[in-house]
Structure 1
């Protein structure tokens, strides 16, 4: 592969992108620097990075990996940076710029040696600062956590008879392919290993809190069960990487917290299992000189990196490999936790998988903070991630959004756990308005007092409108604080339909009073299933544009989906009007020459206007798809009506030439109902849809006037200007 002038910008669409760039203001100080490897790089290549503020002399640093995270903050100012590889010492990259100012939050990460020294202290290493046994709790701690203590203790006792995981329960291997049976076995392993790991962790914690021998006996029994599973058997890394990491982490945590209570032979056996499973994790992640450094878009790999960092921290000085794992993974993990968005926060793979990321964060970040002194919940990305959930899974919402698992109900205790650990106005508001209690185990492991309670500033509802440009999502709410809110969501993502994302660029979802009026359809039976491929992730299953009988944004070839992208090209938010614009032309991969959608949310009128402009070199019959979890009624005047309980929506074409058609989708999940329809236009090389989404079916007066510069649309007395 020949080098090119600006080699840090790889031609591979799934390679890491150079950052920071475009003189963007950085949320984090110091920022993380990334670039693609030099085309001629080898495992011994050393990179030199220059960072210069204004006209000052540049500071130089060296690294063997294609990322760099300074250990100390930068002074405020406008910076430029460039990088060169040792195997091509004259090929400096193009200079890129960024800005650090007082709004950039300081987040400093010491070097690996410093953090390793901190993590090597005497056991228990991961115990939260200020930990006290229950007998020493004061009234305030009992008020906050006493119920969780009592309930977790009862749960541990209740689960003592639960069956043990055994290799003999599972007979299939990955060599047999991703069949439905193997997928079912994967789920079975995941469920039973997680239950056993959680029981081990819960029993261990309850013993630490209470001193009750029953809990210690249960912890030792469950640890022995996990240690008895073969590292090369059905729970091996190659067969179930999630099972391997859960076993390794649970045994590492228990070894640490039960130090002095485990006999020597048992302790050696547990530690050897951790070592063997950790070797498999490390070998996978360190392949290709650290494969995630160059190709970061791997959900399992990114989570495994965090698990490895924590396991390594807990196992330092137990075996030599742990120090190698620590140096390889810990700073890399802290640096790279926002692979699925830019540094402002968000999660391009959808809120369901964002919820899985919360689960990993709560399990890893709390103990990692105690071990290394670096609190990832204080990383600016984490604060943005929390704000992202405020906007896209506000309190009371009954479904997830955009991507695999969108139909699932959000797990409010996990959202509460995230909010409880972030000290910000948005987190405090979210925490106060989520009525569910945090899960007992995570609450009892949380710092005391909860970080969210340390925030002392004003607590107000976040803005009703928000855009997350690096993932291409926008949210528009009537009044976020009100449970009977209207919520309109829009997506046009540069991540395309990659992995768990769907081919829904320029798609919308509409809710009122947490009831779906325009919904996404299908259900997540398993990744790669026939239904997943043919319907669930297809454009026609979403509120988006198709043509010629359901042809939409292509999804074949997973990596190619990163070039089939959307982009939010404009966004504005005022008290009375929100506006978002997306361009999904690239998502159609050459099938269309233009695919833009403009959306206006008239907050005062609770009305939505959607304008799609479409073009193609070949004549197409374009289709404006929409879906609902209840019946869609065709009206005699060409409009259509959706009534979901107390809430309703009337869809009204505002230009002539559209025809209503009922559509047929995949068989919905048992116990659910889905309706599908589309407005279509006659075959042509260009088309326009101008649609009014009348929330509440109020039937406002509408007028559309053409002027010399464009068109003016009045809806119920509120006016917007439409482009030609």
Structure 2
């Protein structure tokens, strides 16, 4: 039964702050001015085809199909388009789980108009050679095993192509390779008229200032620094995991520094033709090419480092190709061949790690993009290049993006999203200029900028969810914002870049095609932006007081179908709150390194998140896609947003109900409602974490302060409970790899074990708690309450009305 629990927390907190000499601005929260139907989206049941965002979709109620084609392993390739999917690209790339006993697949497509297509393929994907018209279509297939009759047909999987789906037909891969092979050098930069305009802009036009700054940095940072010696010890020669990780970090710093210097000098030379830059680039390439490709910088020691060296050698060779003797060029090409062959055999051909079979491999996916890019640069020069390209590029495009869908989402953590997107844009530039295929126009890359706009708006102080969530990477977000404005110069991407400010002068932005040469086939008209968005493919939701205001309050929520796989954490139904560029309710713990004691015992665990645990910190399992959440409701209005997550599947272990509603009353008030039920009595725990001391105001209230910003939390209704707070970790982070300040952890715990529990919490940014009226429980679940004289109700499904 619900009981109102006090109401003095805001006054007590403000009094305390005044005693400490603090002053807080306390704007009254605006309230929603219209009702939103249960679980409905303002845009209706299906995406509005005229909406360029395709973000404000209602949460799909279409059930997945469970036939023989559905993968047994959650980490296998998922059938795509899934039943009920709305695609943003036409034709979509069809893909399905790999099955080693199937020799051929018979594919059938049924179009909305009644016509159909049939294809026979040997791979577990299909690229159509034509666009599909708008409408509701369906596909199915059957397999032909060796020496046996065909399987039964799979069920029909229906999908929708909206009217504004972007046309992206992938040409024949042999033609793409031959285009690259016949391309003049440097292949990875714009050529023809676009190239002439670019170099004119760099030498004497709009990009001259950025180039001169870049050149100055090269002179100061790179040319005066001596080249590094090859690291002596490989990571596989070290038994202790902590020492192995530290060694890997040191190797990475050495390689990224020297590889970056080689590329930078070559880019300055291609513009200025000054010999000192050419000499610097060639010397560093000779140095890197001489390092043992199976030693400290090889694939076995650290695959990403071997990839970095191979890609750097290929880029610099492309820029300086005619400056080398035949003998030296052959030595460099041999070094590249050995490194790429090791990556290709391990990540593309090997069954255990093949992207076609198990695509959820963050390293393998980046390796695949680099291999395709390198092959395009060395087409006609290295015999293996054709095999690499024709094998790798199709699977790279077919499985792109395994961490999300056409909405641009990236489920493997915001930190990794940034680095992966930067790599994809760089690799995409190479492949576009070498082959003519512009990957920036794939649905994934086109819409990933929207994901950045909502989850990394200007001033974002951390990475929200996943490994590295605590890191402040504003420089990276600024680089990506500017990269998107140059490559996809739509009004909202230009505004995003403008709000972040000018990026550091790097080749990524200096040598990108000029905006007038970055062709936008569908225009790019200005459209008012919403302040909230749900990304269905990854189950992430962002709700902002005002997306364009640097002093915004931002509320983020996660209920993801990717569970705690890879760099994700056991964080279903968790939230993060920022305000005025400050971290308030945080995802706690540090990413000192993957698999450290601190990482395993705290950072990846549910108890380190703002979510529910029970019986002393028990929560959702880590390292599994099966521990997934579901977003079952989302609505966005002028002054009220809400999202509903269901995490019962993630908890398992007898937890039958774990439903959470977050309602955001703009600009600064949040309601959190939890419904919990288990097959045995539990002591339920409501967790919240902060970077600074949590102030304890008794069993039902607490507050967080971070500089001039604060957050008050009051339990309006809950079982009898107690509150505890500490700033300890069960295992400390590795202090030798970085500095890790203490964090604070607050837990509301039920005093008695219960099979059922409901929590209703009021969170007020700047402790501007509005007047709260009577809280009434509903017989069937949910509650109603009055806030500033207006009645709000949350029903048993979690949907919010007022």
Whether these two folds match at TM > 0.5 is: yes
CA RMSD of superposed structures (Å): 2.3
Is 1:672 aligned with 2:747?
no
Is 1:498 aligned with 2:565?
yes
Pick which of 297-306 and 464-473 moved more.
Answer: 464-473
Q: 2:646 aligns with which of 583, 589, 592?
A: 583
Per the alignment, do residues 460 and 52 of structure 1 end up closer, same or farther by CA in structure 2, a change over 3 Å counting?
Answer: closer
Cα displacement string for residues 95-144 of structure 1 (whole angstroms, at most 9, x for unaligned residues): 21112231211112101112112111143122223465899625x97453
Q: Indicate the residue corresponding to 2:669 in structure 1.
A: 607
Provide the C-alpha distance between the structure 1 equivalents of 2:151 and 2:727, rounded to a whole number of angstroms: 60
Aligned to 1:12, the other structure's residue is in SS state coil
Pick which of 300-309 and 319-328 moved more.
Answer: 319-328
TM-score by length of 2: 0.85
Is 1:430 aligned with 2:458?
no
Cα displacement string for residues 291-312 of structure 1 (whole angstroms, at most 9, x for unaligned residues): 1112100000000000000111
Per the alignment, do residues 582 and 93 of structure 1 end up closer, same or farther by CA in structure 2, a change over 3 Å counting?
Answer: same
Q: 1:687 aligns with which of 754, 757, 770?
A: 757
Cα displacement string for residues 642-688 of structure 1 (whole angstroms, at most 9, x for unaligned residues): 22222121111111523221134324773634111111112111111
Is 1:21 aligned with 2:82?
yes
Provide the C-alpha distance between the structure 2 equivalents of 1:697 and 1:289, rounded to a whole number of angstroms: 53
Q: Indicate the residue corresponding to 1:64 in structure 2.
A: 122
Is 1:31 aligned with 2:92?
yes
Provide the C-alpha distance between the structure 2 equivalents of 1:516 and 1:171, rounded to a whole number of angstroms: 40
Q: Indicate the residue corresponding to 2:179 in structure 1.
A: 118
Q: Residues 321-720 of structure 1 correspond to what in structure 2 (within 5 A)? A: 321-410=384-473, 411-420=476-485, 421-449=487-515, 457-459=524-526, 462-555=529-622, 558=623, 561-603=624-666, 606-636=668-698, 638-656=700-718, 657-666=720-729, 667=732, 670=739, 672-681=741-750, 682-703=752-773, 704-706=775-777, 711-720=783-792
Is 1:91 aligned with 2:139?
no
Q: Does the CA contact (< 8 Å) of 2:190 and 2:198 recur in 1?
A: no
Once the two structures are TM-superposed, the CA of residue 425 in structure 1 deviates from its matched residue by 3.6
Provide the C-alpha distance between the structure 2 equivalents of 1:584 and 1:320, rounded to a whole number of angstroms: 51
Once the two structures are TM-superposed, the CA of residue 33 in structure 1 deviates from its matched residue by 0.7
Q: Does the CA contact (< 8 Å) of 1:386 and 1:426 recur in 2?
A: no
Cα displacement string for residues 14-70 of structure 1 (whole angstroms, at most 9, x for unaligned residues): 1011111223221110101111123623xxx12221112136343122222111121
Once the two structures are TM-superposed, the CA of residue 353 in structure 1 deviates from its matched residue by 0.4
Provide the C-alpha distance between the structure 2 equivalents of 1:275 and 1:170, rounded to a whole number of angstroms: 22
Per the alignment, do residues 645 and 586 of structure 1 end up closer, same or farther by CA in structure 2, a change over 3 Å counting?
Answer: same
Once the two structures are TM-superposed, the CA of residue 170 in structure 1 deviates from its matched residue by 2.9
Aligned to 1:662, the other structure's residue is in SS state strand
Q: Residues 205-244 of structure 1 correspond to what in structure 2 (within 5 A)? A: 205-244=267-306
Q: Indicate the residue corresponding to 2:314 in structure 1.
A: 252
Q: Does the CA contact (< 8 Å) of 2:489 and 2:515 recur in 1?
A: no
Aligned to 1:654, the other structure's residue is in SS state strand
Once the two structures are TM-superposed, the CA of residue 398 in structure 1 deviates from its matched residue by 1.4
Aligned to 2:207, the other structure's residue is in SS state helix
Provide the C-alpha distance between the structure 2 equivalents of 1:453 and 1:635, rounded to a whole number of angstroms: 58
Aligned to 1:362, the other structure's residue is in SS state helix
Provide the C-alpha distance between the structure 1 equivalents of 2:84 and 2:692, rounded to a whole number of angstroms: 48
Pick which of 358-367 and 388-397 moved more.
Answer: 358-367
Q: 1:104 aligns with which of 165, 170, 178?
A: 165
Q: Indicate the residue corresponding to 2:112 in structure 1.
A: 54
Q: Does the CA contact (< 8 Å) of 2:716 and 2:760 recur in 1?
A: yes
Pick which of 443-452 and 248-257 moved more.
Answer: 443-452
Per the alignment, do residues 219 and 567 of structure 1 end up closer, same or farther by CA in structure 2, a change over 3 Å counting?
Answer: same
Pick which of 564-573 and 644-653 moved more.
Answer: 644-653
Q: Does the CA contact (< 8 Å) of 1:541 and 1:665 recur in 2?
A: no
Per the alignment, do residues 135 and 406 of structure 1 end up closer, same or farther by CA in structure 2, a change over 3 Å counting?
Answer: closer
Provide the C-alpha distance between the structure 1 equivalents of 2:177 and 2:116, rounded to a whole number of angstroms: 30
Pick which of 698-707 and 212-221 moved more.
Answer: 698-707
Q: Does the CA contact (< 8 Å) of 1:126 and 1:367 recur in 2?
A: yes
Q: Indicate the residue corresponding to 2:27 in structure 1.
A: none
Per the alignment, do residues 502 and 28 of structure 1 end up closer, same or farther by CA in structure 2, a change over 3 Å counting?
Answer: same
Aligned to 2:792, the other structure's residue is in SS state strand
Provide the C-alpha distance between the structure 2 equivalents of 1:270 and 1:205, rounded to a whole number of angstroms: 18
Q: Does the CA contact (< 8 Å) of 1:503 and 1:554 recur in 2?
A: yes
TM-score by length of 1: 0.94
Q: 2:259 aligns with which of 181, 187, 197?
A: 197
Pick which of 74-83 and 221-230 moved more.
Answer: 74-83
Per the alignment, do residues 684 and 267 of structure 1 end up closer, same or farther by CA in structure 2, a change over 3 Å counting?
Answer: same
Q: Does the CA contact (< 8 Å) of 1:23 and 1:78 recur in 2?
A: no
Q: Indicate the residue corresponding to 2:61 in structure 1.
A: none
Aligned to 1:230, the other structure's residue is in SS state coil
Pick which of 86-95 and 569-578 moved more.
Answer: 86-95
Provide the C-alpha distance between the structure 1 equivalents of 2:721 and 2:66, rounded to a whole number of angstroms: 50
Provide the C-alpha distance between the structure 1 equivalents of 2:482 and 2:516, rounded to a whole number of angstroms: 10
Per the alignment, do residues 688 and 131 of structure 1 end up closer, same or farther by CA in structure 2, a change over 3 Å counting?
Answer: same
Per the alignment, do residues 83 and 224 of structure 1 end up closer, same or farther by CA in structure 2, a change over 3 Å counting?
Answer: same
Once the two structures are TM-superposed, the CA of residue 145 in structure 1 deviates from its matched residue by 1.6
Q: Indicate the residue corresponding to 2:4 in structure 1.
A: none
Q: Does the CA contact (< 8 Å) of 2:376 and 2:434 recur in 1?
A: yes
Q: 2:349 aligns with which of 286, 298, 301?
A: 286
Q: Does the CA contact (< 8 Å) of 2:691 and 2:743 recur in 1?
A: yes
Provide the C-alpha distance between the structure 2 equivalents of 1:6 and 1:135, rounded to a whole number of angstroms: 53
Per the alignment, do residues 522 and 290 of structure 1 end up closer, same or farther by CA in structure 2, a change over 3 Å counting?
Answer: closer
Aligned residues: 711
Pick which of 634-643 and 89-98 moved more.
Answer: 634-643
Aligned to 1:238, the other structure's residue is in SS state helix
Per the alignment, do residues 215 and 653 of structure 1 end up closer, same or farther by CA in structure 2, a change over 3 Å counting?
Answer: same
Aligned to 2:206, the other structure's residue is in SS state helix
Q: Does the CA contact (< 8 Å) of 1:123 and 1:259 recur in 2?
A: no
Provide the C-alpha distance between the structure 2 equivalents of 1:222 and 1:174, rounded to a whole number of angstroms: 26
Cα displacement string for residues 209-248 of structure 1 (whole angstroms, at most 9, x for unaligned residues): 0110111101110110111011121111111111211111
Pick which of 703-712 and 293-302 moved more.
Answer: 703-712
Q: Indicate the residue corresponding to 1:264 in structure 2.
A: 326
Aligned to 1:419, the other structure's residue is in SS state helix
Per the alignment, do residues 499 and 646 of structure 1 end up closer, same or farther by CA in structure 2, a change over 3 Å counting?
Answer: same
Pick which of 20-29 and 519-528 moved more.
Answer: 20-29
Provide the C-alpha distance between the structure 2 equivalents of 1:150 and 1:98, rounded to a whole number of angstroms: 50
Q: Residues 161-200 of structure 1 correspond to what in structure 2 (within 5 A)? A: 161-167=224-230, 169-174=231-236, 176-177=238-239, 179-200=241-262
Q: Does the CA contact (< 8 Å) of 1:28 and 1:380 recur in 2?
A: yes
Pick which of 253-262 and 347-356 moved more.
Answer: 253-262
